[in-house]
Amino acid sequence: MSNRSETRTSRVTVRLIALQILVFSLLLTLGGRLWYLQIRNGQEYANEARNNHVQQVVDPATRGSILDARGVPLADNQTRLVVSASRTALLKMKDDGKAVLGQLAKVLGMPEKDIRNKVRLCDSKTPQPCWNGSPYQPIPITDKATTQQALQIRERSEDFPGISAEPTAVRRYAAPGDANTAQVLGYLSPVTDEEINKAKNTRSPLLRSDQIGRSGLERQYDDYLRGKAAVTRYEVDNLGRVIGQAKSDKGQAGSSVVTSIDARVQAIAEKQLDQAMKDARKVHDRNTGTNYKADSGAVVVMEAKTGRVVAMASNPTYDPNAWVGGISGKDYARLTGKDSNYPLLNRAIQGQAAPGSIFKVISTSAAINAGYDFDGHYPCTSSYSIGGQVFKNFEGEGHGDISLGRALEVSCDTVFYRLSHDEWKKDGGDKPKKNANDWFYKTAHQFGLGKETGIDLPNEVKGRVPDRKWKHDFWRANKAGWCEQAKAWPKKKDFGTKLAREGCLEGMKLHAYDSINYAIGQGDTLVTPIQMATIYAALANGGTLHDPTVGKAVVSPDGKHIQMIKPKAHGKLPDTPTTLKQIDSALAGVATRGTAAWRFQGWPQDKIPMHAKTGTAEVYGKQTTSWFATYTKDFTIVMTISQGGTGSGASGPAVRNIYNALYGVDPKGEINPKAALLPKPQASLPKIEGDGTIQAQPIKPYVLPSPSPSGSPQ
């Protein structure tokens, strides 16, 4: 009995000892953790604890306005009732806020699905609409709430937890005088966490409440326009009660950007481009047997002496107000879907196409630099043959022996075919010399092609000069694919397989037909309208290639600090003053007796000398691209219409009408200075009041006078 008792006592003792060891271990662990938290990392956690008791209230800065050259707002702000949702508050609810959003949909008269889509977060798999800003930032549902709707939400706040309805300054794209200016202005969207982190140590850090520019001037001058939000910090206890005020940051409204755009001219340019495209679609294309599609286009109006942009239009276009307050799924698909034709694209700086005959001013300069006489005699035959290939003049017309000036006037292809072919042979042909002159390609680079013009708009493209280096690089990049496709030869002899075979075997070579096509702006050459406008402006001003500029000045909110944006030059044309005068005279001949003469009948040439060059570029698998490049002593206008037909046929009337508006020229060719839309001197600024307010001059939609009964071309 005693043995059993001793055994039981022994077991109890062991258990007590084990329990004591366990308790001691737990106490030791807890003590160690407390030491780690309070002693070793105590300061760090104390700081974090203090931060947890500081709440900040952000008052977003009023974004600066974008103004035209006369002070007319192109983009400004207006107060609207904005209904927003706190995603954090919604996710704390048992149903993730579905019931609240359902009630909100009824009040706002919006589909519940649309509201739910707006508050979901964007990622690589989530289609628009979605929220690409911070999940901790209030997400705008609509900026079009009525006063009655806002009152319902605010008075029944217990039914709408996490929902706010507040008057807020909202971006507005005013389209004064119907000047849309969409692609130039750009649009805004919420900042992302990635952008916040990236901007942490910059001079312009971002807050979660910020909206930033995504394209156009809104992006280019975002640092100036955005301003600085006011941040008020409050110390609160653990129950959320305010116990004091911490250090706060003062806010500052954004600066305004004055541009060189004239809203009156901008409206005319947009309307004329749109009308030219509509008119082109009524014309029958005998090559395809259908009407021209005229699917896109662009026009640039530039001050020739400075490179300042007076108007820039791209078609198809869009309403930038669609992005304000969050874009709907329907609008997003309309702007970005595969059937949209990409209206967000600014085709004036991002649209690339072969330039056709407006390129011939470069070929003329190249020929003169290579030693050819401008006034020499060059055969303008109806066609030009090399090997088994025949290259025809436009519509097979011949003009006998003519000068280079006359070749520009009548746009004779065969003159430039011969010159370029001769230079190709002098450079060694298929086996180029080590130090080949490559005059025709070198001159294009000197004219600024193959690189950005430097315009103050984001995402400008470079275009392409298809010289020997480009040919070799392009061949290396595509050789494998070409050679794989070429394996189908000779069983499959379609055009695509034939090209692939040629590319595989000899794609690295600059062939004779490459140089021949290149001389008239065809083949692999690509340019943008802004590049050609810069070149023709240089021809007008004596040879200076300017960086095109849209911004003219940045004005501080109080109007006391003005930062002028001065025009800059990036080069000179590679021509002597004599050559420039000769080309200038030839381009005047184009407008009076050459390919553009029928579009400038009745123009007061003696008072306002007009210079022009037409271009009709062939594109494989598409209809021809229309180009029209022109200038006076004051302005340069370049217009292009994709699949629009001939240069003078499609673009000519629109360009003539823009000049009519600029100079106040009526259909009879008489000048009415009171009707002219001549912009103010580009160095001037609109009047700025003492409080920083910029005075806008009145703007009225300009109506072109009707054509005269005689039917003179417009």
Residue 683 has pLDDT above 70, yes or no: no
Q: Quickly state the pLDDT bin for 273 (edges 50, 70, 90).
A: very high
Residue showing tokens 């004219």 = 447
Residue 713 has pLDDT above 50, yes or no: no
- Cα–Cα distance list, 458 to 82, 86, 185, 455, 576 (Å): 30, 33, 11, 8, 33
Q: For residue 223, how far is the Cα from the chain centroid?
A: 18
Residue 601 has pLDDT above 60, yes or no: yes
Residue 40 has pLDDT above 60, yes or no: no
Q: Quickly state the pLDDT bin for 714 (edges 50, 70, 90).
A: very low
Closest C-alpha among 390, 391, 412 to residue 401: 412
Q: Which of 39-53, 180-194, 620-634 has the lowest mean pLDDT?
A: 39-53
More confident residue, 521 or 331: 521
Cβ 298 vs Cβ 184: under 8 Å: no
Please tell me the predicted confidence (pLDDT) of residue 240. 54
**Average pLDDT in the 350-358 region?**
97
Q: Which of 45-49, 271-275, 698-702, 707-711 has the lowest mean pLDDT?
A: 707-711
Please tell me the predicted confidence (pLDDT) of residue 87. 86
**Average pLDDT in the 534-540 region?**
98
Please tell me the predicted confidence (pLDDT) of residue 433. 92
Look at strands 66-67 and 73-85 and give their pairing. Answer: antiparallel
**Average pLDDT in the 445-471 region?**
97
Q: Quickly state the pLDDT bin for 71 (edges 50, 70, 90).
A: very high
Encode 495-552 in three state secondary structure: HHHHHHHHHHHHCCCCCHHHHHHHHCCCCCCEECHHHHHHHHHHHHHCCEEEECECEE
Please tell me the predicted confidence (pLDDT) of residue 407. 96
Q: Quickly state the pLDDT bin for 39 (edges 50, 70, 90).
A: low
**Average pLDDT in the 348-356 region?**
97
Range among 14-18, 51-55, 160-164, 367-371 with highest mean pLDDT value: 367-371
Residue 50 has pLDDT above 60, yes or no: no
Dist. CA 493–CA 508, nearest whole Å: 22
Q: Quickly state the pLDDT bin for 33 (edges 50, 70, 90).
A: low
Q: What is the pLDDT of residues 111-140, one digit of tens each?
A: 999 999 988 988 878 887 888 776 777 888
Please tell me the predicted confidence (pLDDT) of residue 706. 59
In eight-state DSSP terms, residue 667 is T
Residue 279 has pLDDT above 90, yes or no: yes
Cβ 140 vs Cβ 170: under 8 Å: no
Please tell me the predicted confidence (pLDDT) of residue 354. 97
- Calculate what percentage of the chain has a pLDDT beyond 70: 89
Closest C-alpha among 454, 627, 457, 420 to residue 526: 627
- Mean pLDDT, all residues of the chain: 88
Dist. CA 138–CA 33, nearest whole Å: 38
Residue showing tokens 């021209």 = 292
Evaluated on CA atoms 87, 93, 98, 104, the torsion sign reads: negative
- Amino acid (1-letter code) at residue 373: D
Closest C-alpha among 543, 336, 355, 570 to residue 456: 570
Q: Quickly state the pLDDT bin for 214 (edges 50, 70, 90).
A: very high
- Calculate what percentage of the chain has a pLDDT beyond 90: 61
Residue 692 has pLDDT above 50, yes or no: yes
In eight-state DSSP terms, residue 622 is S
Q: Quickly state the pLDDT bin for 384 (edges 50, 70, 90).
A: very high
Q: Which of 98-102, 196-200, 561-565 has the lowest mean pLDDT?
A: 196-200
Dist. CA 233–CA 622, nearest whole Å: 61
Q: What is the pLDDT of residues 548-596, one digit of tens each?
A: 999 999 999 999 999 999 999 999 999 999 999 999 999 999 999 999 9
DSSP code string of 675-709: G--PPPPTT----B-TTSPBPPPP-----PPPPPT
**Average pLDDT in the 299-310 region?**
97
Q: What is the pLDDT of residues 621-669, one digit of tens each?
A: 899 999 999 999 999 999 999 999 999 999 999 999 999 999 999 988 9
**Average pLDDT in the 530-558 region?**
97
